[in-house]
Structure 1
Amino acid sequence: MADYFKLNSDYYEVPGHFTFKDVYLSKYVRKDTLERPELYQIKSDDIFVVSFPKSGTTWVLELTQLIINKGDPTYSESVNHFDRIPFMEFEPENYPKRNGLTAMQNIESPRLLKSHLPIHVFPPQALQMGCKIILVARNPKDTVASYYNFYQALPPLFGDYKGDFSNYLKLFVNGKVVFGDWFDFTLGWWKYVEEKNALFLKYEDMKRDPRDATVKISEYLNCNLSDEVIDEITERCSFARMKTKFQGVEERAFMRKGAIGDWKHYFTVAENEAFDEVYNEKMKDSGLSFDWE
């Protein structure tokens, strides 16, 4: 069944892409910090939200920001999301203030940081220092459907992708999308979660019980919040409220549908069957499973 997802020789590539330790990346990822992670100057009280793209990252970041601030929305509502939460490996050409490394140096501790890096290229000192790490994962079928739309919505990041979903699915299965192979990413971090002090959240669980996610994050960060504050934070970070908050053209790409099972509108029956075979083979014996709807 592997031949089903075989790429043609002329498959689509992100302009300016490069590969680092077998991870497919775009020119907007800082290569110098991958080669010299000490440039990040990690602090022991740094808090990282780590995920594969389109897995609920923005949602968890907003929840975590409010939890750190004990429910006070002043900072979250007065400063743009992308300016107050550094995307640490990101180096955009047209937004120098959002350069991850620079932004990290300009915010106060405890710093809330975002990353899409697989564990084997993540700054090792953050792992060694015992920094708080929140992992967010989403079932790969919905992830690839959402990422496909993300590619089309932000051509400055991914180039002018004109291919259909079937071709994009092949790229995804072969790890030829930005930030690489979903399976390698997810299983690498899952192993770390099983061995270390990290919090693992499933997007599907969060959708079904968002309040429980708020409680888990607050407990993990040792934030003693009242039930009333927990409820307020959960409501402020509801999908409807978040979608209203993210109104800009760039921001809207980060908050699309958020549905579980949206993949059914994209996969053919044959693609679904072939993907299931790949999924079952790669995920066997991992102890990790996902809900599809």
Structure 2
Amino acid sequence: MDQMFEYKGTLFNHMFTKDSLDVMPDYVIRDDDVVIVTYVKAGTNWIIEIVNKLMRAAGKTDVHAKDIPWCIEVTLPAFGKPGHVIMEDQPSPRIIHTHLPWHLAPKMITSPKGKFKAIVVMRNPKDTAVSWYQFNRKLDPSLGTQRDTPWDEYVQRFLDGKVILGDFYDHALGWWQMRDDPHFLFLKYEDMNKDLSGAVRKIKQFLDISLDDVTTASVVESCTFASLTSTWADSGNPIKTLIARKGKVGDWKNSFSESQSKAYDAKYRERLDGTGLQFDFE
């Protein structure tokens, strides 16, 4: 596995620094920021594209999605500086993204005041695990961090929460406690996959964006899996060319053994029963 270190109970890799994580709690969220929160491989770039295209169409921003660093807490090779430093120079309204668990995120998000909006996108744990595993296998050679972690080892690590950015359920339930706060909109990857135009309309309404039906439909069309796969392939950003794989719900069935699936089902029931949070698996 990539060299990992623990920070306040959560595992991180070399793209995170203690200095960046230390400044996160006091990171200033502007009143008109749109904050996007995701666990890894839960549709991060998808939701950034949708929000950015809606805001651009409404004349609220001139910034392109390719210039928005995902993860304010990370220093990505393509950007050279920590995301939070880059975002300081971006004009308002900004699209701010974080993968951080609730307890490590900026306090201005977790104890919300002002008018900022936050969109949390979640994906079922089985598809998330497969997507994260496959993404790392493709990403490692480009970062020079070759590691051949067998699937059986990885799937157990994910189940045990011993992966970068910590336990899936800790992340999901940490943010889920914000579900009744009017600053927050919660979306599921599976619902977006099933009804993209419905999801776009919901986001548009949440962000108080007025667009006619034709413009909205063009945003939807430009944010389909096929459209974005093509956009990212031509982006010139080596990491973005690796983002899209299949974009399907239920692809986990091609990777999970019966015993692995049962173990994940047991953990799912143990952690989510009675919480009101549920996921579709196909």
Change (3 A) 1:255 1:98: farther
Residue 90 of structure 2: aligned partner:
107
**1:173 paired to 2:156:** no
Superposition deviation, residue 196 in structure 1: 4.5
Structure 2: gaps (5+ residues): none
Structure 2 distance, partners of 1:216, 1:31, is: 37
Cα deviation code 1:49-86 (max 9, x no counterpart) = 110010111111100001112267x957xx5x442345
Q: Partners of 2:257 and 2:150 in 1: how far apart?
A: 12
Task: For 2:210 and 2:58, locate their aligned partners in 1 and report how far apart those are by CA, in whole Å.
Answer: 11
Counterpart of 1:287 (choices 272, 276, 282) is 276
Cα deviation 1:181-216 (Å, max 9, x = unaligned):
000000111111234530000011001100011111
| Deviation readout 1:212-247 (Å, 9 max, x if unpaired) | 111111111111121111111000111100000011
Instruction: Classify the secondary structure of the residue corresponding to 1:192.
Output: coil
Task: Compute the displacement of 1:150 (Å).
Answer: 1.1
Q: In the alignment, which residue of structure 2 is the partner of 1:37?
A: 24
Q: What do the CA deviations read for 1:6-43 (whole angstroms, capped 9, x no partner)?
A: xxxxxxx421x221221111121232232233663321
Equivalent residue for 1:14? 2
1:275 and 1:86 mapped to 2: Cα distance?
Answer: 28
Match of 1:252 among 223, 241, 246: 241
User: Out of 205, 209, 215, which is 1:229 matched to?
Assistant: 215
Measured in 2, the distance between the counterparts of 1:54 and 1:96 equals 20
Aligned to 1:126: 109
User: Which aligned pairs between 1:260-279 and structure 2 lie closer than 5 A?
Assistant: 260-279=249-268
Corresponding letter in the other structure for 1:275: Y
Partner of 1:213: 199
Alignment partners' CA distance in 1, 2:225 and 2:74: 25
8 Å Cα contact 2:28/2:106 also seen in 1: no
Aligned letter for 2:240? E
Output the aligned Cα RMSD: 2.1
Give the residue type in structure 1 aligned to 2:82.
N
**For structure 1, which runs of at least 5 residues remain unmatched after alignment?**
1-12
1:287–1:230 CA distance, 2 compared to 1 (3 A): same
Quote the Cα distance in structure 2 between the aligned partners of 1:281 and 1:150.
28
| Alpha-carbon separation, structure 1, partners of 2:22 and 2:135 | 28
Query: What is the DSSP-based 3-state SS (H/G/I as helix, E as strand, rest coil) of the residue aligned with 1:90?
Result: coil
Deviates more, 1:169-178 or 1:83-92: 83-92
Deviation, structure 1 residue 157: 5.6
Give the structure-1-normalised TM-score. 0.87
Aligned to 1:140: 125
Counting aligned pairs with the same residue, the percent is: 33
3-state DSSP of counterpart to 1:113: strand
- In structure 2, do the counterparts of structure 1 residues 157 and 177 end up closer, same or farther at CA, with 3 Å as the change threshold? farther
Correspondent of 2:75 among 82, 85, 91: 91
Task: Report the secondary structure of 1:285's partner residue.
Answer: coil
